[in-house]
A and B are shown apart, each in its own frame.
Chain A
Amino acid sequence: MAGTPVQVTGTVLTTRRVDAYHALTVVAPGIAERFRPGHFVSVAVGGAYTSMVTRRALSVHDVKSDYGGTVELVFTVRGRGTAWLAERRARDTLDLVGPLGRPFPLPRDPAHCVLVGAEYGSAVLFPLADALLARGCRVDFVLGGAGAERVFGAMRARRIAETTTLTTEDGSLGLRGKVTDALPSVIADTRADAVYACGPMETLRAVTAVGMEFDIPVQVAVEEQMGCGIGVCMTCVIPVIGDDGATRMVRACAEGPVFRGERVRFEDVGTIPFDALGAPGGGARHVS
């Protein structure tokens, strides 16, 4: 049953602030046991009589089997929907669908893995780190953000990883700069076999470029605005190169959110590349 999504009414167990972000621990039986690192969860916001019709896709920071199976969701307030979520308190209920998306592929043999997270994108890397450690992999973290309070999970990373490198753009914590400034030396020092990354598209693009320089695979979990999270609304598409070399507009929710970095055409996100399958000019002439 792993991976088959379910819809459940979850009960909020605890709410907390983690650095500049919000975290909700929700009792979500059915979702917790199906979850694998890289999966995400979608929630309905605003309550029964809300005017907000689209769901919000949230990262899962932690999954525990106690209390009947809990998931910890991490988010930042971006609009009315996430503001409503931030106001939830213990014993409130939430409509959850999950786990959604394709999880991170894990190395078959113990490998050296560098996990790169920018802002709260780091959240999804912690269940991944647990899974990698369980397989005997070496895990090193590179976490960054604009300022100290926007670096997510530094403490936990320090506890579980071999090394943790922190970067901030204002220099208030760790090295001054971006995660990609620190990444080459971390890859070189740890002799990494693979890189896993999550964060804004710009960060993922730069991380992929570094990985390609070192000729090691990069797995990225993209953050894209989603309407449904289950693959029917078709709004979260990005251009991705397939096994056959053709570029397709694929759904970040159903075909992703995890992709091989070099397959994602980061420069063309937000456009329809002229050579994409079915791009305008290639026989497409009308709109809905």
Chain B
Amino acid sequence: MSVDMRTFLAHVELANPITTAAGCAASGRELAQFFDLHRLGALTTRSITMAPRAGRPTPRMAETPSGMLNAVGLQGPGIDAFLERELPWLAQRGIKTIVSIGGGTVAEYSELARRLADAPGVTALEVNLSCPNMEDRGRVFAREGSAAAEVIASVRSIMRYDVPVVAKLAPDVADIVAVARACVDAGADALSMINNPLGMAIDTEALRPSLAAVTGGLSGPAILPLAVRCVWQVHAALPGVPLIGIGGVMTGRDAFQLVLAGACAVGVGTALFHDPYACLRIERELEDLLRARGFQRLADAVGLAHRPPGSAPRHLLVDTEESAP
């Protein structure tokens, strides 16, 4: 018996729930050396910006207990090069592509959405809200519901109706449910959680911060519980909203936790640095875990951990041919 691993991101069907996390798979070519990208549910690109960006100085990375800090600074060639070289490469191969965009102003996000609205091959648009808002003293968009909502509303109004707009939220907020609700009210079709929380490490040999940028995003298994908590809280408050759970997923069991908390798709990031085949392995492990527990469909497991105490697992209430004596 195989498990039906299909999932829906708003109305867009993905063959399986595993996607790469933004900024962890560049634009696909590097991973394509190892496996066929069609085996991913979707590929999420790095965050595309208007202008080319050289990013932050090195050192950009520091390994931390069960994780790593990074301060890459959205290095990339900009939207023109993306539309000219990277997106067509993915589109020609028919790879489901979630394009991540990042900007410093609402106008910049709108312009990026406008440029992508007519581009073929955009399966969904993920709005990276963890960029500092240049119009508001560099305060990160994702930290304030109103700023995040403004971006989402403007992107949603520009993007074609058949391309879901996904808001990517940061965990460094007082009330993630409030930010999530603001984004959904502004028209987000789905939410991506979580972006890297900010962290810092100090090099005890050099006696100074390990990263040139001083602080950086913390990723890896260290943040899995944080992601599970955020997905749980938002799914409890907004059960109808599709969630992409991201944060420290290294195994199928980690992905399963996010699914049970309410995610219908799972992003794999840092694990790709450790193992280029991580997405395929995690997908297989997740399917095995579901099968071992008698699930026929991934969709039946989404948010299942929210059921009230004492109630039987939903899938056991259904008498299936396979389980009949």
B-contacting residues of A (Cβ < 8 Å)?
4-7, 44, 51-55, 81, 95, 97, 224-225, 227-228, 230-238, 248-249, 254, 269-272, 276-280, 282-288
Contact = CB atoms under 8 A, between A and B. Distances in A.
B233 interface: no
A235 B72 contact: yes
B56 A287 contact: yes
B132 A286 contact: yes
A232 B57 contact: no
A225 B63 CA distance: 11
Given A5-B33, A287-B131, A234 B102 contact: no
B220 interface: yes
A226 B197 CA distance: 22
B71 A287 contact: yes
Main secondary structure of the interface of A (DSSP, over half): loop
B267 to A, nearest CB: 14
B273 A232 contact: yes
B54 A235 contact: no
Which bucket holds chain B's interface residue count? Answer: 35 or more
Contact of B72 (A81, A284, A288): A288
Residue in B24, B26, B50, B65 whose Cβ sees the most chain A Cβ within 10 Å: B26
Interface in B188-242: 212-213, 217, 220-221
B119 to A, nearest CB: 21
Contacts of B276: 7, 97, 228, 230
B52 interface: yes
Nearest to B55: A249
B273 A228 contact: yes
Interface string B70-84: 111111111000000
B63 A288 contact: no
B242 to A, nearest CB: 24
Contacts of B275: 7, 44, 95
A152 to B, nearest CB: 23
Contacts of B66: 51, 53
A240 to B, nearest CB: 12
B54 A272 contact: yes
Residue in A54, A224, A276 whose Cβ sees the most chain B Cβ within 10 Å: A54
B63 A52 contact: yes
Contacts of B67: 53
A52 B273 CA distance: 11
A170 B104 CA distance: 53
B134 interface: yes
Residue in B53, B132, B277 whose Cβ sees the most chain A Cβ within 10 Å: B53
A55 B33 contact: no
Contacts of A230: 30-31, 33-34, 276
Contacts of A283: 50-52
Contact of A238 (B34, B58, B130): B58
B131 A7 contact: no
B112 interface: no
Interface string B93-136: 00000000011100000000000000000000000101110100
Interface in B13-64: 23-26, 30-31, 33-34, 46-47, 49-61, 63
B60 A234 contact: yes
Contacts of A4: 33
A278 B54 contact: yes
Contacts of B103: 286
A280 B54 contact: yes
A232 B58 contact: no
Contacts of A95: 275
Contacts of B77: 278
24 contacts: A5-B33, A7-B275, A53-B63, A53-B67, A53-B221, A53-B273, A55-B274, A230-B276, A232-B24, A233-B61, A233-B70, A235-B61, A235-B70, A237-B55, A237-B58, A237-B75, A238-B58, A270-B59, A272-B54, A277-B54, A278-B76, A287-B56, A287-B71, A288-B47
B68 interface: yes
Contacts of B53: 278, 284
Nearest to A253: B30
B52 A286 contact: no
A270 to B, nearest CB: 5
A128 to B, nearest CB: 23
A6 B61 CA distance: 24
Contact of B51 (A249, A284, A287): A284
B126 to A, nearest CB: 13
The 5 closest A-B CB pairs, nearest first, are A283-B51, A278-B52, A235-B61, A286-B104, A228-B273
